[in-house]
Amino acid sequence: MIKKDVIIIGGGAAGFFAAINIAEQNPKLSVAILERGKEGLQKVKISGGGRCNVTHAEFIPQELVLNYPRGDKELLGPFHQFMTGDTIEWFEKRGVLLKIEEDGRMFPESNSSQTIIDCFLTEAEKFKVEVLYNHALKTVSKKDSLWNLETSQGTFSAEKLVIATGSNPKIWKLLENLGHSIIQPVPSLFTFDIKDERIKDIPGVVALNVEVKVLGTDLWSEGPLLITHVGMSAPAILKLSAFGAIELAKQQYKFEIEINFIRQSLEDCMERLKELKQDLAKKTVFKSTQFELPKRLWHKLVLASKMDKNTRWADLNKQQLENLASQLTQAVFQVDGKSTFKEEFVTAGGVDLKEINFKTFESKRHKNLYLAGEVLNIDAVTGGFNFQNAWTGAFIVAKSICN
């Protein structure tokens, strides 16, 4: 049996961050990461299209927590201990400069996730963290004050155990056996599958500022909307999928959404269309795109309003005007399924947050058992927030263990 002071299960973002900070803050402790794959940091590698969306430029804890459908209340205290500014400083001290993009997302200046991976591997080596790959955890038990672990490559024991495995059903099962409650996981952060003539053949079109509601629920969101080959994506949709993860799973991903493409009321839109009927009388509706909408989307919505390409503004009857106003402000689409957003597979679910002490990220069920990252029932919208949760939890775990 191999004995260590601290063993971390999971060689992802939270696992490496915890290990490096523990080993740096207390070099006397022997620290090992056990990772089931043949390499670690896989989510770091693919995040942000291979650029690694490290965090988000939001520097007020009360504002930052609004991006977490699950975990918002619990993370408020931790974010006062370690948040965005601390993340930026941590990486800068190690020679990794981050940049802020227009939408607030933060990436390494190199635009490559390899920069983050190299930083972690270098730091782990520098502080003598042992990283063992192909070590899948099979059993966990506690005897006296020691954690005993059986892996696919041998047995280990440690005084302190950190679980940072992300969304892993096998680990959740082991934690359940230790007396933890697991909130049943469902997908979060997904795109909507929609077959509809109005969005057919126009993938890549972006409406910059829409409002989307899920009919029959209180769910709504706003922001950019992207039309894809299979349906709709971008922040307006992804936020809905995150905040509505549980509700939409119950509906088996079959529901209706209503989109206001121009963020105006039906009445205001009607008034504007009547003005256009006067001002552009001789022009065709099809060719005179309005409301700063993408041309191809305008064309689709015009044709869906029961007119053809040659209909002139002057010739619009009351019904056609109402149809167009309705398509612009109250367009209803049938969602029939979901697709994973890029490779960023995020789940809602995990260890019940009531069973964690968020001052230390220690289990309330077992002394010297710590949990960080997505193994907990915490998830966020897209934009670097899931990583910020990982850095914050892992840093506080390290501080708790070293104190």
pLDDT tens, position by position, 354-396: 999 999 999 999 999 999 999 999 999 999 999 999 999 999 9
Which residues of the chain carry a pLDDT beneath 50?
none
pLDDT tens track for 193-212? 999 999 999 999 999 999 99
Q: Quick one: which of 28, 30, 39 has its CA closest to 7?
A: 30
HEC string of the chain equals CEEEEEEEECCCHHHHHHHHHHHHHCCCCCEEEECCCCCCCHHHHHHHHHCCCCEECCCCHHHHHHHCCECHHHHHHHHHHCCHHHHHHHHHHCCCCEEECCCCEEEECCCCHHHHHHHHHHHHHHCCCEEECCCCEEEEEEECCEEEEEECCEEEEEEEEEECCCCCHHHHHHHHHCCCCEEEEEEECEEEECCCHHHCCCCCCEEEEEEEEECCCCCEEEEEEEECCCEEECHHHHHHHHHCHHHHHHCCCEEEEEEECCCCCHHHHHHHHHHHHHHCCCCECCCCCCCCCCHHHHHHHHHCCCCCCCCEHHHCCHHHHHHHHHHHHCEEEEEECEEECCCCCEEEEEECHHHEECCCCEECCCCCEEECHHHECCECCCCCHHHHHHHHHHHHHHHHHHC
Q: CB-based contacts of 170: which residues, under 8 Å, 6+ apart?
A: 136, 137
State the pLDDT at residue 106: 98
**pTM recorded for the entire structure:** 0.93
Q: How far apart are CA 18 and CA 8, in angstroms?
A: 8
Q: Quick one: which of 242, 234, 236, 239 has its CA closest to 188?
A: 242
Question: Please, what is the angle between helix 385-402 and helix 84-93, to 10°?
Answer: 70
Q: Determine the residue type at 166.
A: G
Cα 343–348–354 angle (5° rounding)?
Answer: 145
State the pLDDT at residue 344: 66
- Given a contact cutoff of 8 angstroms between Cβ atoms, the answer to whether 52 and 148 are in contact is no
Q: Quick one: which of 72, 55, 145, 153 has its CA closest to 106?
A: 55
Q: Which residue has the tokens 């080959």?
A: 229
Q: How far apart are CA 201 and CA 223, in angstroms?
A: 22
Q: Which residue has the tokens 């155990």?
A: 161
Cα 30–40–361 angle (5° rounding)?
Answer: 55
Q: CB-based contacts of 146: which residues, under 8 Å, 6+ apart?
A: 157, 158, 159
Q: How far apart are CA 5 and CA 160, in angstroms?
A: 6
Name beta bridge partners: 168.
none
